[in-house]
Amino acid sequence: MQIQNNISLKAFNTFGIDVKATHFVSINSIDDLITIYTSEKFPKKFILGGGSNMLLTKDVDALVIHVNLKGKHILSQTETEVLIEAQAGENWHEFVLWSLENDFGGLENLSLIPGNVGTSPIQNIGAYGVELKDTFHSCKALNLDTLEIETFTKEDCNFAYRNSIFKQHAKGQFIITSVIFKLSKVNHKLNINYGAITSEIERMNINQPTIQDVSKAVISIRQSKLPNPKEIGNSGSFFKNPVITKKAFSKLQDNFPNAPHYVVSETEIKIPAGWLIEHAGFKGKTFGNYGVHKKQALVLVNYGGAKGKEILELSKLIQDTVFRIFDIQIEAEVNII
């Protein structure tokens, strides 16, 4: 375990923001994690996974702990299902591809999401009609008070849209060390009702899609509208899609009868924040070396050399403008550090 001092975090966050960490350590074992938390040498600590859901607005005056626990294995299986444990530092998309190579079903719609396996439960990652909770069995996490490993079942995690216990009252108290998934081995249930997937599969000329085809379709859709962080710095959707009451929605419809929306429950409606931001005039706007992506208004981008504070200011301008026009408050999805 090697502790480095005063290092740039530019390569460790997909926004590509160049801030420094006072100290940095990459962790390969739970024992090393416990050693760090037992020592009093570094009172301030900051946990880093793949750095794909954060905006760094200042230097990180702490020991940055890069969770790099590796490995995956089958815990048990029946004729129809398999339980797989993957360590927190495994790359999410590589894990999805590995599951598909083994013909294990359930993760295909979540292809090409950046970040690590260990972070996936924190905001209950989701895309194209599927959320992590749909295949999540449990996870293990180090309790930072007791330094014991605890297991969280699906019920414990309190999953919701871009939310879990790890963003609520357990925030900052645990480091997730591994996640256990329940995947199908036969009779895979395909989730292809999401409009864009259906049309992409048709375009691919496939009549009886497999889970591997669904993954390819999802990858193709994502590549067509989301910027690749290796080319343009970004953190995916900067804001969550707001969920408003039916009453607020009918007020919105009075002024914007064509506003797209999804019914969430009898009393709630979800509005795509990308539509609100586009109709507030921000889509494709650039402010020097940062701005709003031209193909997806929900994605803020760093064209190179932008400061986290500048992107934060832009996000506030967007929030204020959307609120002024639509009377809807949009909340950041990205963790602002």
235 binds ligand FAD (CB under 6 A): yes
Q: Which does 283 bind (CB under 5 to 8 A by kind): ligand FAD, ligand EPU, none?
A: ligand EPU
Which uninterrupted H or E stretch holds 22? strand 20-27
Q: Smallest Cα–Cα separation from 241: which of 308, 322, 303, 295?
A: 322
Catalytic member of 138, 235, 237, 315: 237
Residue type (1 letter), 2: Q
Q: How far is the CB of 237 from ligand EPU (least distance, A)?
A: 4
> Which partner in ligand EPU, ligand FAD, none is near 105 (CB below 5 to 8 A by kind)?
none
The whole-angstrom separation of Cα 90 and Cα 69 is 7
Count how many Cα atoms sit within 13 Å of the Cα of residue 108 in the half-sphere of its side chain.
25
By the 8 A CB rule, do 184 and 80 touch? yes
CB of 145 vs ligand EPU, minimal distance in Å: 30
B/e letters for 304-319, b = 16+ CB within 10 Å, e = fewer, are eebbbebbbebbeebb
| 14 scored as a contact of ligand FAD (CB under 6 A) | yes
Task: From 110, 333, 132, select the one nearest 243 (Cα to Cα).
Answer: 333
Please indicate whether residue 237 is annotated as part of the active site.
Answer: yes
Q: Which is nearer to ligand FAD, 64 or 201 (CB)?
A: 64
- Among ligand FAD, ligand EPU, none, what does residue 335 contact (CB within 5–8 Å per kind)? ligand FAD
Q: Which is nearer to ligand FAD, 209 or 229 (CB)?
A: 229
H/E element, 20: strand 20-27
Any idea how long the chain is?
337
**Nearest residue (CB) to ligand FAD, 142 versus 322:** 142
Active site residue 324: no
The residue from 52, 162, 164, 200 that is catalytic is: 162
Provide, rounded to whole angstroms, the least separation between the CB of residue 42 and ligand EPU: 31
Residues near ligand EPU (CB under 6 A) are 127-128, 236-237, 240-241, 260, 272, 274-275, 278, 283, 296-298, 333
Given ligand FAD, ligand EPU, none, residue 241, with its beta carbon under 5 to 8 Å by kind, binds ligand EPU
* Least Cβ distance, residue 109 to ligand EPU (angstroms): 8
Question: From the centroid of its chain, how far is CA 208?
Answer: 30
First to last CA, the chain: 25
List the single partner that 278 binds among ligand FAD, ligand EPU, none, CB under 5 to 8 Å by kind: ligand EPU
Pick from ligand EPU, ligand FAD, none: which does 298 bind, CB < 5 to 8 A by kind? ligand EPU
333 catalytic, yes or no?
yes
**DSSP string computed for 113-156:** --SBGGGTTTTT-EETTEEGGGTEEEEEEEETTT--EEEEEHHH
Q: How far is the CB of 62 from ligand FAD (least distance, A)?
A: 11
The answer to whether the CB of 81 falls within 8 A of the CB of 183 is yes
**89 vs 105, beta carbon nearer ligand FAD:** 89
Site string for ligand FAD, 36-55 (x = CB under 6 A): -----------xxxxxxxx-
HSE-CB for 124 with a 13 A CA cutoff? 23
Confirm or reject binding of residue 229 to ligand FAD (CB under 6 A). yes
Identify the CA nearest to 143 among candidates 152, 155, 133, 132. Answer: 152
**Cβ neighbours for 263, distance < 8 A, ≥ 6 positions apart:** 269, 270
What residues act catalytically? 162, 237, 333
- Binding residues (CB under 6 A) for ligand FAD: these are 14, 47-54, 67, 88, 113-116, 118-120, 122-123, 125-127, 175-176, 226, 229, 234-236, 335
